[in-house]
Structure 1
């Protein structure tokens, strides 16, 4: 969500006197955080389970907070179960199961899932498992179970060569899309070096182009027969359901499916390199990145919690040792990480460092190795362990807020059941292991695993290594026996839908006039606080782009009473996160904190917002990091396109004519100083330019004294707040293709955009519904055409980005390089048809209307979602009951109304196209389109 107002006078701002920040005052007494043992008591996922006669294991968790149920089917098979020459099959079959028809749903699952109002619907594959998931309104649960059971037991008869070839093309474009990113080829080199030939984890889940080319229809059918039996699956139902209902429904829809072969996951030891391995790669990257990687034990090992804590202390906390030494003190790196990624059989312990441009890479590598050796030898101290424990537990509690999706309660239950044979693994054993870890136990785990030889890999700027593409032609497929459909009863109807009950919004004004909007969400003991300023990227001085982002990055790097290390340590002890960010129209500093620690969290938030130190040494350090982020943006396809497009649409001088990232121009950021940053803070970070939004499990009466105490001395300034200025007119649209050369790109990024005669403040319900038909979402016409029919892309999207002033509409289409010109032609034809003779059909309208209305209750399972809705309502002047009434508005639409809204705002001939790709491959294709071509350098 976003909005507006602009800098009054840069000359006036420059005349404001700025004094050097005072020396650090005596810090306030440290907040008293909740003990880890008490946090552990907040973690609970009660469940019941049963097993059908066919072996399907079912886990049920009841949570009545919303009328929705998360349905997740997890299969005990992943890429580690693939044989040589058939890599990528687990993921390819996930695509088959997710996007293609079943025997009793010849149109596929996507359309009925959308029509019933599913949210969080997707599928994923990893080394150890494949899953399919969706969260559905309670009255649609039977339909979801019917579809999930059809995917499990009634898929093969609908699988044919055309569908295999299509999804093969989609997956290969997914691979290209990942490989096309800076550092995108690292994983392949790591796995090949770390694991011996034949080891189940030696190849990536995405697989190789050659193996994907070789996949046959019979291969895929056998994969389903061997791996997808009910006895090889875990089904989790979490939400508005009880075990008695679950038992009846699961038996009804899954009980008839016969057992399959029992898949025993591939055994895999933890290999040790015989000696250190050094690998040097080159890529079109902005800075050299160093990696240090070990193979270590996996998720269920007794050392797993200690290894995670070890990584968190070393490079995962904001106060981490790597940050403190290499980034803050010695300033030879601009980014550091350390992580423990746990799989079923093994884990990867990885450290990475982005070397600051101009520094001696070899010296930084030796320094990194010395720091690792010292840390492994000495281990963490008690305070570091306690902060890592608190961070893990607070993050886990946050993850339990939704019932499903990528990280909710259903995920925790399914993973525990699949890997540890214990659905309560995370809520019981894992939290206990984290809470019981000590400095001694962490040091002992590191001594066991991190004293072994390391893989030391580097990626330096230069020509990219050779890229293995897909075959131009595949051999003709062998004949495959026809399979009969196994018909079953029709899919059940959907019951009466329940309306959304959005939390009541209460408003108060603190004694100093600060407006507060509050809503109560009592799912987990969590409070979210957002201080929102009417600023945003649009408020950046036109002659000093990047000023605001540099200031935002400095907020948590020091105040008048805390340095960066103290801020990081305080937040970690509280289990709190403080983030600062900007959309085009608003700037927000947000606190997420466990509610028992709210007082300390508010104290930290207010200090960060109001009292930035803006120390010269911190400015120099953070400046280098922002310059590195700009270089990274200029190296990635999406970053290049996003930097070029705004000025083409709005003009370089318009407040929206700059990249939404807000990173700005390197030349400007290189010269910004304390004066400019302090002036921006003084102008925009003021109480009469701010609003406070709070979502908490605690009642407002309990929160009000804490808010008063935190904000009481923030006074109203005497002068008026600044304004943002938006020109009354925009440059006339100039349809053309702007080509930006990025050699060695296996994909082209296509952006097609125009500025609409509408803003986020307008009524866009009918337009957004119409756009779902043509541009937005999996079922949109452009995605179905370019991805599902032609197989040229991993995904295509066209959507309106709502802003306070006139909003842009942007098509995003990453496509394989040899189909760039044809893709633009296909996109143009789709929009011409949609806005002309082939408008919204009755079936498309009904699916969109039903799906949009029915999905509303599933959109607000988390406090973050409620907070975002409150902020959006305030920004665009919507009433508090906007989301409660929007379902009725969707249901009242018809095709004619949707067509009229789309034709009023969109013009198929008004798109400006940006193409980021290999010009030698792409330009000959573009010249056939009859559009003006303008070549630009990377912005």
Structure 2
């Protein structure tokens, strides 16, 4: 189901709804008896934990999960942007950055130490209510991780210099520019300003204002740290291969000596109510008009939270939502809808929106949307709707519990409950509410909060009528340095705290992969993972966007988008409802080389979920009415791609690299013209030619044994016969070749505070070659991760970018090297010059250093167990192994390959693949500001204007 992203709060909000499941309604006669009942599903949602507190007030929570030799470490501080004083907006977020820049006993960039440990899923984030840091580490590196986290909690200030403050200020300001530069990037500011007018604690976004960021001083840094980051204002969660008895002495050792500090009492905040309805119209580079309404709502501790969340799902969040059914499917006046309940600690925001189909009257669509909202509030939801919403959400919760760390694993769930509500088991309390939730309660909550005055924001295509707020000093001229206080750049170590040694680090135990053949000849690749009661099935076809005829680019993508929009026996709406009753996710995709259908099912509901997947794959209706609806959505999506900096760059560079006749000469989405030309006969022919059992492989990762699965797989797919016509073959006779010399294509995007730089070339490497791991690890020194040279230069040293990456893009028939760098507009030429210099020196005179080699190899080996923690990661690895002709124990052999790498082998791989003299560079930015900078580089420049 094609869905547009909401233009509102998703980037900064906490979605706090932990759902529940109910039995399927009687209407679903074909699956009702097979659907697992409510108690069985709720029993699967459990995160047992032990909690204790150190004498200095640090709260410690431990969850034991022995499925892999890894531990998720999450440290949450009870401070967010709502706690910032006037004139210091953005300071909590700025400080989060500073706390990655070194402490007294770990003075280097923290990503260096994380990579030494083989950490995965590591990052830090700040929102309105809290600041957190998290990483998943091998069990043998846990003591080192605790030493590192405790050093920045207790021993930071001696390492913070004026130089670091100025640099991270520039990085954050470029992060702000990067967000502002996106279509709709200014909308969130308008929402916050309107719903939470000053002096409300939520009256500014966590990113802050440029002027306030400029004003941050070293005195502010010292005071903020001392006031907010004491152990008694923090919670640490350890989830994974550890128990409380093992954890306590380690936590005591490293955190116990840190002195207690002040406790930040989170700012109280009333739930404001608008005096009257507010309407705002904004213009931006969007492909279609979006109309959204916003209401203030209660925060995370309100009982209404669950009811409002379920109500929003029913209204516009589910694939079968009321707005989807009415505006998108039936009346076809919108290309997408959305609804959500974004709840923070003190307040929340309810939002409902629709993206108007181009050519339709926006006022009429808004009227219909409001009528549907009013009807929903007046009538309330049905029992079936409540059950479907709850089941679908609970299934997502169960899937998420497989991961111990990261952005949404068990450590985060426990930490969020403790810090924001005082209860680590807050998720369980929500289950209790959900277990008794009725349609009447949902209706009552919607009536209470959605009948209050609202804000309506209409975002329509056009030139922005709001100017960017540019920085006054540091990032604006790039070289400005604030006057340093005496001693501000001197590192002071107050307490010697040597880093502990690593304990024994476990190697990767990739699950054994078995193969069976179904009666029709289809091969099944199977691995068992039993951490959660979930089965993942991927049906992969040798097609992908590379199968598209050159005059029908986008055919594969459009076809895949229509498979679940109606079969010969089920309508689009009935498919959506069936998925929700089962708690199943059935998605399509695959990329350039493969077309895939992926099912993620609760194992208890596997049989009916497989039945639904089979119907979708084998019996698509390709209804003419659905085709036209999805075609319009697809075209609108293409037009939107051509308005975002990254989308413009990618769609410009791809045909230049590969050639328009090469199967890889398109991003996969096609053009407005090519998608407009596709007929139903084209879709039917695509299915007959490519989506067939003799062109497929089946991949399964499940908690069930293969012997238990095989009969169900045989029933679903074994009886499927291939058509008599020959299957398809892709034509790669038009070879992708690199240009003879470097050049620049400048795409003019006026009023851009950042320029988006994207460069690349097609290499002579092949993904199937054993040496590809040498190229990948060579790139880890140049551009592949945070510590790589290009990122450290443009972000950490110069502060011109929020992040730079170089990547090796592997396809079955081509390997391409890419560089991506969003940079502030006034440093576009300087940044491209630096990129060229870095790449040129790397492949000639300044290859991989010994320090880089040791760091990279250790990191790659040590992070392997964390990389393949989840069944989804295992499923992806199995598919890649088949795609590139690798053995199924390939991942277990990687450590040996890494140990054999040398500086010479990595240099040879890079120098054999990367030639900066043959790069094509695409720059998307304001040509008036940027072209004079690029002229100084003395490369051929072609200037293009944006297409309408």
User: TM-score, length-normalised on structure 1?
Assistant: 0.96
Listed as ranges, the matches of 1:232-243 within 5 Å are: 232-243=233-244
> Quick one: distance in 2 between partners of 1:643 and 1:476?
41
Paired position in structure 2 for 1:47: 49
Offset from partner CA, 1:299-323 (integer Å, 9 cap, x none)? 1111111010000001111000000
3-state secondary structure, aligned to 1:725: coil
| Structure 1 runs of 4+ with >6 Å offset | none
> Quick one: distance in 2 between partners of 1:627 and 1:435?
42
> Quick one: distance in 1 between partners of 2:241 and 2:29?
46
- On the 8 A contact 1:835/1:903 being kept in 2, the answer is yes
Q: 1:736 aligns with which of 734, 743, 752?
A: 743
> Quick one: distance in 2 between partners of 1:433 and 1:645?
51
- On the 8 A contact 1:559/1:612 being kept in 2, the answer is yes
Displacement of 1:298: 1.2
Displacement of 1:863: 0.8
Stretches of structure 2 that go unaligned for 5 or more consecutive residues are: 1-26, 475-479
Displacement of 1:690: 0.4
- On the 8 A contact 1:755/1:807 being kept in 2, the answer is yes
Paired position in structure 2 for 1:174: 175
Paired position in structure 1 for 2:310: 309
Q: 2:588 aligns with which of 576, 580, 583?
A: 580
Offset from partner CA, 1:575-621 (integer Å, 9 cap, x none)? 00110113110110100110000001101101111111111111111
Displacement of 1:30: 3.3
3-state secondary structure, aligned to 1:204: coil
> Quick one: distance in 2 between partners of 1:476 and 1:571?
57
- On the 8 A contact 2:231/2:260 being kept in 1, the answer is yes
- On the 8 A contact 1:227/1:263 being kept in 2, the answer is yes
> Quick one: distance in 1 between partners of 2:420 and 2:113?
32
> Quick one: distance in 2 between partners of 1:902 and 1:476?
39
Offset from partner CA, 1:805-839 (integer Å, 9 cap, x none)? 12111000000011100001000111111111111
Offset from partner CA, 1:213-252 (integer Å, 9 cap, x none)? 1111111221111100000000000100111110000000
Displacement of 1:927: 0.4
Displacement of 1:481: 6.5
Listed as ranges, the matches of 1:49-448 within 5 Å are: 49-98=51-100, 100-426=101-427, 428-448=428-448
Displacement of 1:467: 1.4
Offset from partner CA, 1:253-275 (integer Å, 9 cap, x none)? 00000011110000011111111
Stretches of structure 1 that go unaligned for 5 or more consecutive residues are: 1-25
Q: 1:745 aligns with which of 738, 743, 752?
A: 752
Q: Which moved more, 1:672-681 or 1:588-597?
A: 672-681
Displacement of 1:544: 0.7
Q: Which moved more, 1:879-888 or 1:919-928?
A: 879-888
Is residue 722 of structure 2 the alignment partner of residue 716 of structure 1?
A: yes
- On the 8 A contact 1:218/1:480 being kept in 2, the answer is no
Paired position in structure 2 for 1:856: 864
> Quick one: distance in 1 between partners of 2:115 and 2:227?
30
Q: Which moved more, 1:193-202 or 1:468-477?
A: 468-477
Displacement of 1:731: 4.1
Q: 2:916 aligns with which of 908, 920, 923?
A: 908
Q: 1:924 aligns with which of 925, 932, 948?
A: 932
> Quick one: distance in 2 between partners of 1:168 and 1:727?
50
CA-atom RMSD in angstroms: 1.4
- On the 8 A contact 1:389/1:435 being kept in 2, the answer is no
3-state secondary structure, aligned to 1:348: strand
Paired position in structure 2 for 1:696: 702
- On the 8 A contact 2:162/2:484 being kept in 1, the answer is no
Listed as ranges, the matches of 1:474-873 within 5 Å are: 476-477=482-483, 479=485, 484-659=492-667, 662-727=668-733, 729-733=735-739, 734-763=741-770, 764-873=772-881
> Quick one: distance in 2 between partners of 1:512 and 1:729?
35
- On the 8 A contact 1:314/1:320 being kept in 2, the answer is yes
Displacement of 1:936: 2.4
Displacement of 1:115: 1.5
3-state secondary structure, aligned to 1:44: coil
Offset from partner CA, 1:450-490 (integer Å, 9 cap, x none)? 11011011111111122111114679447366684222231
3-state secondary structure, aligned to 2:863: helix
- On the 8 A contact 2:662/2:734 being kept in 1, the answer is no
Q: Give aligned pairs, total.
A: 910
Offset from partner CA, 1:631-685 (integer Å, 9 cap, x none)? 11011011111111111111111001111xx221101222322111111111100
> Quick one: distance in 1 between partners of 2:692 and 2:209?
55
> Quick one: distance in 2 between partners of 1:729 and 1:292?
51
Offset from partner CA, 1:72-119 (integer Å, 9 cap, x none)? 100000011011111000100000012x11100122321121011000
Displacement of 1:504: 0.8
Paired position in structure 1 for 2:23: none
Displacement of 1:719: 3.5
3-state secondary structure, aligned to 1:235: strand
3-state secondary structure, aligned to 2:206: coil
3-state secondary structure, aligned to 2:314: helix
> Quick one: distance in 2 between partners of 1:403 and 1:475?
42
3-state secondary structure, aligned to 1:260: coil
> Quick one: distance in 2 between partners of 1:499 and 1:371?
56
Listed as ranges, the matches of 1:448-463 within 5 Å are: 448-463=448-463
- On the 8 A contact 1:339/1:349 being kept in 2, the answer is yes
Displacement of 1:727: 2.1
> Quick one: distance in 2 between partners of 1:728 and 1:617?
36
- On the 8 A contact 2:662/2:735 being kept in 1, the answer is no
Offset from partner CA, 1:393-445 (integer Å, 9 cap, x none)? 1111111111000000000000111112111111x211222222110110011
Displacement of 1:728: 5.8
- On the 8 A contact 1:782/1:797 being kept in 2, the answer is yes
3-state secondary structure, aligned to 2:526: strand
> Quick one: distance in 1 between partners of 2:365 and 2:222?
51
3-state secondary structure, aligned to 2:536: strand
Offset from partner CA, 1:319-360 (integer Å, 9 cap, x none)? 000000010111111010001111111111111211111111
- On the 8 A contact 2:89/2:213 being kept in 1, the answer is yes
Displacement of 1:888: 1.8
3-state secondary structure, aligned to 2:846: coil
Q: Which has the higher contact order (CA 8 A, sep 6+)?
A: 1
> Quick one: distance in 1 between partners of 2:28 and 2:118?
51
> Quick one: distance in 2 between partners of 1:560 and 1:522?
35
> Quick one: distance in 1 between partners of 2:946 and 2:657?
17
> Quick one: distance in 2 between partners of 1:701 and 1:377?
51
> Quick one: distance in 2 between partners of 1:674 and 1:108?
55
> Quick one: distance in 1 between partners of 2:453 and 2:486?
49
- On the 8 A contact 1:787/1:793 being kept in 2, the answer is yes
> Quick one: distance in 2 between partners of 1:567 and 1:642?
33
Distance 1:732 1:883, change over 3 A: closer
Displacement of 1:36: 2.4
> Quick one: distance in 2 between partners of 1:301 and 1:885?
51
Displacement of 1:627: 0.9
Distance 1:475 1:276, change over 3 A: farther
